A and B are shown apart, each in its own frame.
Chain A
Amino acid sequence: MSTAALITMILILGVVWGGFVLALRLALRKEKSKSHKALADKELK
């Protein structure tokens, strides 16, 4: 593979796939903290 193709591939896959993985990780973390909070609120009641 040529250098130009390799660089383009790394950039495009990095932005799209990397961005998706990051967004997914963030969503999972937020979801986890929301469920912990909901559980704590339930216990308080």
Chain B
Amino acid sequence: MNSTEHFTSRWGLILSVIGIAVGTGNIWRFPRIAAANGGGSFLIPWVLFLFLWSIPLIIAEFAIGKQTRLGTVGAFATLLGKKRAWMGGFVGLVATAIMFYYAVVAGWCLRYFSTALTGQLLEVTDHTAHWNDFISSGWLPVLFHVLAITMGAAIIRKGVVHGIEKANRIIIPALLCLIVVSAVRAITLPGALAGLEYLFTPDLETIMDYRVWLQALTQNAWDTGAGWGLILTYAVYMKKREDIPLNAMLIGLGNNSVSLLAAITIFCTVFALVPGQGEELIRSAGPANTGLTFIWIPQLFKQMPGGWLFAIFFFLALTLAAVSSLISMLELTTRVLMDMRMSRDRALSLVFAAALLLGIPSAISIEFFINQDWVWGMGLMVSGAFIAMAVISFGADRLRQDQINSSGSDLVIGRWYNWLITYAIPAQVIILVTWWFWQVIKGNPQHWWNPLQAESVGTCIFQWSVAIALLLALNRFVVRRTFDK
């Protein structure tokens, strides 16, 4: 695909971008992160970050993509100077590293779809044991990871307009309908109100925990796709007179709406089906938390007439949504390589091979998976800061006037946006990182630096440093390939 190919309509673009963001991030990741971080106490900062972090960054990504018509590396080199192209590389690398283990999640969805299709899924008596057996079997998650990434790469060869846009016109509405039906059934289960109570009760002690705020920011970025560089890549194909602010609002709010529905479904199901133990079950860490949706959704469908049919359609839609998000991640890395004058087929083959191989450790080991989700989830915060720096360097006001408030815009964004990007985004990063490091070093002085601990500060610093060192070493080569004619 070349940059002259555009999305055919506003709804095509919105559905494609919601297709990036509505997926397992909302249905698999959001309920488990909300559960592990105190439910109601987590929702308050999570909603705040939608307006203070995600929507401003989505607007920035749209504007940068439209302004430069280049992938993340080329866009950053244009806005920040060629010496800082590595920062765009970091944004792309975070999304690529997420893609490696995201393909594993897409594989889980595919596996559950296949067992729902054969009718085995609803015959299972102990769904937690079923989940644990599956993820610890070794070869099965690898097989489904390979199938998922192959599906994604095969679809992307058809190109944006004919592939993604067409598929999303069916996938997204179907998935939304299924989630609404599931939520209604979950709420009407006897005892389900306890789930709502837990989900929406804020606790002052939990709200003062730095982890809740860190996870709220990164989860909101995960939900909406803010700071991934994915929206920037899609914006390369936007029409010149396409609106930015209203599209960004729709994407952010639409995504968080789906996340809330998914959480309501899961929380109500757990509290209704295991009365008295709901809170203990939902807060449990480890593999059971990672597989929250996969363990409880089949049990909800068992409570519904024609549940087997719902299970088939739900896991089919979830698989398609996951593959749709996977496609956009493949597209991002492919675009960066294409900007380096690599042919589309060659770039895609290279990205496909890397995703296939580098996803295998996460497919085999859930500990490795949890580590990668932690490191690169937190990496989204750094990516967001880099995007804000690119906008500041170009001039927030200039970008606002040239791109955000351009002739096709449906909403006029005021000067408050300059303030948000220039001060609020960097301030959020500085405050959260300082708070995080200070608390961790104070609370765990012996091990906070340990890069071998799954969720430590040390593992983040170590992996980010390796990535940045590599990108700095390659910076001159990448810039030469991207810009020299």
Contact = CB atoms under 8 A, between A and B. Distances in A.
A31 B260 CA distance: 27
B47 A27 contact: no
Interface in B13-42: 14, 40
A41 to B, nearest CB: 14
A15 B256 CA distance: 10
Contacts of A20: 250, 253-254, 256-257
Interface in B169-184: none
Given A5-B40, A26-B410, A27-B250, A16 B47 contact: yes
Nearest to B193: A1
A4 interface: yes
B249 interface: yes
Contacts of A13: 260
Interface string B202-238: 1000000000000000000000000000000000000
Given A8-B202, A31-B10, A24 B260 contact: no
A8 B253 contact: no
B148 interface: no
B204 to A, nearest CB: 10
Contacts of B201: 2, 4-5, 8
Contacts of B250: 20, 23-24, 27
A6 B193 CA distance: 11
B253 A23 contact: yes
A40 to B, nearest CB: 17
B429 interface: no
A26 B40 CA distance: 30
Contacts of A31: 10
Interface in B398-454: 410-411
Contact of B43 (A12, A17, A30): A12
B197 A5 contact: yes
Which of A8, A15, A16 is most buried by chain B, counting CB atoms within 10 A of its CB? Answer: A16
Interface string A1-39: 110111011001101110110011011001100000000
Nearest to A13: B260
Interface residues of A, number: 20
A16 B44 CA distance: 11
A44 B312 CA distance: 52
B285 to A, nearest CB: 24
Contact of B200 (A9, A24, A26): A9
A15 B49 CA distance: 13
B196 A9 contact: yes
Nearest to B261: A17
A31 B411 CA distance: 13
Contacts of B253: 16, 19-20, 23
A8 B203 CA distance: 11
Contact of A23 (B43, B246, B260): B246
Nearest to A8: B200
B70 interface: no
A2 B202 contact: no
B447 to A, nearest CB: 35
B93 interface: no
A17 B260 contact: yes
B50 interface: yes
Interface in B331-369: none
B257 A5 contact: no
Given A13-B260, A30-B410, A19 B200 contact: no
A4 B201 CA distance: 6
Contacts of A1: 193, 196-197, 200
B10 A2 contact: no
A8 B47 CA distance: 11
Contacts of A5: 40, 196-197, 200-201
Contacts of B199: 9
A11 B257 CA distance: 13
Nearest to B243: A30
Given A5-B200, A12-B200, A27 B254 contact: no
Contact of A8 (B10, B44, B249): B44
A26 B248 CA distance: 13
A26 B246 CA distance: 8
Contacts of A2: 197, 201
Which of A20, A30, A31 is most buried by chain B, counting CB atoms within 10 A of its CB? Answer: A20
A13 B261 CA distance: 10
Given A2-B197, A12-B260, A27-B410, A19 B249 contact: yes
17 contacts: A5-B196, A8-B201, A9-B199, A12-B43, A12-B44, A12-B47, A15-B47, A16-B253, A16-B260, A17-B257, A17-B260, A20-B257, A23-B249, A26-B410, A27-B246, A27-B410, A31-B10
Those 6 A-B pairs whose CB atoms lie nearest each other, nearest first: A20-B253, A9-B200, A5-B201, A5-B200, A30-B410, A23-B249
